[in-house]
Structure 1
Amino acid sequence: MKLSVVIPCFNDSQTIATQLEALSFQQCSEPWEVVVSDNGSTDNTITIVEQYREKLPGLKIVDSSERQGAAHARNQGVLAATGEAIAFCDADDEVAPGWVAAMSKALSHYDFVACKREYHKLNPPWTLKYRPHTQQTGLQEYKYPPFLPHASGSTLGIKRFIHISIGGFDETMLRLQDTDYCWKVQLSGVKLHFVPDAVVHYRLRDTLPDLCKQAREWGKYNVLLYQKYQSQGLPRLPWYSGLIIWIHVVRRSPHLLSTKYRAKWLWNFAWQVGRLQGCLEYQVWAL
């Protein structure tokens, strides 16, 4: 079974060589290819990718600039892929040795899989304190409110025909399209399996403005998911739950003055701001 590794990218000149270098050292008994889907980069990302044509025979570069977003880039990458199975990874992460072989093997047994994330290799120590280290021993749990498990889009593998049958990633979702994707696939009757032998070194946001932006956008799109999946079994949140969280955030506001706790507090604050923004934009109470 041939595996296609699809990498969406956008202005990733600082990191994509690390990912492609890691892929160039991968070994797999089954045939595989790499498809880089460029979402309209204006830096020298593609110049760097071109330098790997000899190291990665069969490397494909796809122009996916007509619509912004990782969802569109991934979908276009899959359309250009020739493998029966697809493995997604990101241009700012780094696959560990054996990742391709482990994903290929997993997809020979299962239709939908997610690999393990490792946090220490690519991240400075302070960044490891503001986010939970999810997807190290199993799938990510969705807890607010409890629903189906999910996994990062940069860790997923799927049979190509299933991706096509569900319509791929939702291109209207600029964030959390991977959570939406995982839920769509599972609601179609396909189980998501965790693959601990396949490991990706995951990169966190490493500036305070970037982590605040990410947290705010995730909060906003979580509200959209809440609205979108109400009719498919997602439980309702108690009206007061968000107010309780806001009280906790306000009470911990002195953490803003602490170098030890500042990043975590800012993440939680920005996430709540994003949820409030989502409630106003999508006209649903989901604090």
Structure 2
Amino acid sequence: MSLSGPATTIGVVIPVGQRTTVELGPQFAALARQTRPGPVSVVVSCNGEPVERVEALVDTVDWPEGWSVVAIDSSAVRGASAARNAGWRALDTDVVLFCDADDVVSDTWIDGMVRGLERAGVCTGPLLHDALNEAWMWETPEQAWPVVRFGHLPHLSAANLGMRRTVLEETGGFDITLGAAEDIDLGWRAAYAGYPTRFEPGAAVQYRLRRDTAGLFRNNRHYARWDRVLVDKHRAQGARWQVRDVVRHLLASGWAIARAPFGRRHRRAAAIRLGTLAGWLERYLGRTPTST
């Protein structure tokens, strides 16, 4: 299927959890500034947030001509995976693009995604940190790509993701049994089906980092709890714990703890390292991860 012509149909899915509409306005405004002409269908998948509240916000935006923006209720099954699945299944478009409610896509995001999906079945782009976060909150303005996880395949984030619809249908979309790493899992399963991820520099997203240290610790602990589930699920295809990576993390954690008293940037680094260690330890001790 060629995606080069203007007849390519484009859908965008934004999952919205409970009390996550605070930053949704800037994301809507960024979508409305897209450089790609022609119609786009946007589905805001409300997974705990009242549909009426999101619809009221949708009505405040001056959307481009031909765009369709609707809010649907996906709260029957809770979680980001269920919300995204309900969103893409509500669309009938050649490509489906995913972004989050609290980030901000670049003006060329849709153009870049479609350009990347002309050459691949899965596409991602830069995650930038310099516009939505204070300077002390990030070490580099752009997240590195690719970040290979567990000696296997690159990390993939649903905050900046595009797929041909055929790939979503073939893979079944996001695994709703996973409380985290569902985007990595989907990207890996797509690769097994013959659709490796393409990186498109023009499809950038400004990514909002967690600000408070305690929240950062909890967030990284949550993700780390699911690392073992991810590895176990993909072990047959080659995913493995890398001893050298674990040792490096342990050494870096010790260094981060030693530097923590010397400023909030260092305390932030320590929270990330220690949260990950705590999550790994909980899983090693047999604690079953939850979706939150």
1:66 maps to 2:70: no
Identity %: 26
1:107/1:30 CA distance change after superposition, 3 Å:
farther
Contact 1:117 1:201 in 2 (8 A): yes
Query: Larger deviation: 50-59 or 89-98?
Result: 50-59
1:255 maps to 2:259: yes
User: Structure 1: which amino acid aligns with 2:22?
Assistant: Q
Contact 2:28 2:61 in 1 (8 A): no
Partner of 1:7: 14
Partners of 1:264 and 1:8 in 2: how far apart?
28
DSSP 3-state at the match of 1:6: strand
1:223/1:82 CA distance change after superposition, 3 Å:
same
1:104/1:247 CA distance change after superposition, 3 Å:
closer
1:249/1:108 CA distance change after superposition, 3 Å:
closer
Partner of 2:154: 149
Partners of 2:246 and 2:45 in 1: how far apart?
38
Partner of 1:98: 108
Partners of 2:88 and 2:164 in 1: how far apart?
10
Residue ranges of structure 2 left out of the alignment (5+ in a row): 1-7
Structure 1 residues 102-122: Cα deviation after superposition (integer angstroms, max 9, x where no partner): 212322332111111211000
Partner of 1:198: 203
Task: Give the TM-score of the pair, scaled to structure 2.
Answer: 0.86
Partners of 1:111 and 1:253 in 2: how far apart?
42
DSSP 3-state at the match of 1:61: strand
- Number of aligned residue pairs: 277
Residue ranges of structure 1 left out of the alignment (5+ in a row): none
Partners of 2:201 and 2:31 in 1: how far apart?
18
1:248-287 matched pairs, under 5 angstroms: 249-250=253-254, 252-259=256-263, 260-281=265-286
Partner of 1:83: 93
1:20 maps to 2:9: no
DSSP 3-state at the match of 1:229: helix
Structure 1 residues 225-251: Cα deviation after superposition (integer angstroms, max 9, x where no partner): 12211122113544x974674465346
Task: Give the TM-score of the pair, scaled to structure 1.
Answer: 0.88
Partner of 2:233: 228
Partners of 2:204 and 2:182 in 1: how far apart?
21
Query: Larger deviation: 46-55 or 93-102?
Result: 46-55
Contact 2:125 2:205 in 1 (8 A): yes
Partners of 1:181 and 1:70 in 2: how far apart?
13
1:187 maps to 2:192: yes
Contact 1:100 1:198 in 2 (8 A): yes
